[in-house]
Chain A
Amino acid sequence: GQQLNQSPQSMFIQEGEDVSMNCTSSSIFNTWLWYKQEPGEGPVLLIALYKAGELTSNGRLTAQFGITRKDSFLNISASIPSDVGIYFCAGQFGNEKLTFGTGTRLTIIP
Chain B
Amino acid sequence: GAVVSQHPSWVICKSGTSVKIECRSLDFQATTMFWYRQFPKQSLMLMATSNEGSKATYEQGVEKDKFLINHASLTLSTLTVTSAHPEDSSFYICSAVQAEETQYFGPGTRLLVL
B is bound to A: yes
List residues of A (37-59) whose CB comes within 8 Å of B's CBs.
40-45, 48
Task: Tell which of A42, A48, A88 touches B43, judged by Cβ atoms closer than 8 Å.
Answer: A88
Assuming A42-B93, A95-B100, A97-B34, is B46 touching A1 (CB within 8 A)?
yes
Task: Tell which of A48, A97, A101, A103 touches B46, judged by Cβ atoms closer than 8 Å.
Answer: A97
A3, A42, A95 — which one has the most chain B CB atoms within 10 A of its CB?
A42
Tell me the complex Cα distance, A103–B40, Å. 12
A100 at the interface (CB under 8 A from B): yes
- Whether B43 and A3, one on each chain, are in contact in the complex, defined by CB atoms closer than 8 angstroms, is yes
Interface size class of B (residues with CB under 8 A): 20 to 34
Q: For the A-B complex with A42-B93, A45-B102 known, give 19 more contacts whose Cβ atoms are closer than 8 Å.
A: A1-B45, A1-B59, A1-B60, A33-B102, A40-B110, A41-B107, A42-B4, A42-B95, A43-B105, A44-B105, A45-B103, A45-B104, A88-B44, A97-B34, A97-B49, A98-B103, A100-B43, A100-B44, A103-B43
Query: What 7 pairs between A and B have smallest CB-CB spacing?
Result: A42-B105, A100-B43, A42-B108, A43-B105, A42-B107, A42-B93, A100-B44
Q: What are some 13 contacts across the A-B interface (CB < 8 A)? A: A40-B108, A40-B110, A42-B95, A42-B107, A43-B44, A44-B105, A45-B102, A45-B104, A88-B43, A97-B46, A98-B46, A100-B44, A102-B43
